[in-house]
Amino acid sequence: MSLGLVGRKVGMMRIFTEDGDSIPVTVLDVSNNRVTQIKTPEVDGYSAVQVAYGQRRASRVTKAAAGHYAKAGVEAGTVLKEFRIDAAKAAELKAGDIVAASLFEAGQ
User: Cβ(3)–Cβ(83) under 8 Å?
Assistant: yes
Domains of the chain: residue spans and CATH = 31-102 (3.30.160.810)
Q: Which helix H or strand E contains 36, and what residues bound it?
A: strand 34-39
Query: Taking the model in full, what pTM does it have?
Result: 0.80
With cut-offs at 50, 70 and 90, classify the pLDDT of residue 1: low
Q: What number is the average pLDDT over the span 13-38?
A: 94
User: Cβ(23)–Cβ(14) under 8 Å?
Assistant: yes
Instruction: For 39-82, write each residue's pLDDT tens digit.
Output: 999 999 999 999 999 999 989 999 999 999 999 999 999 999 99
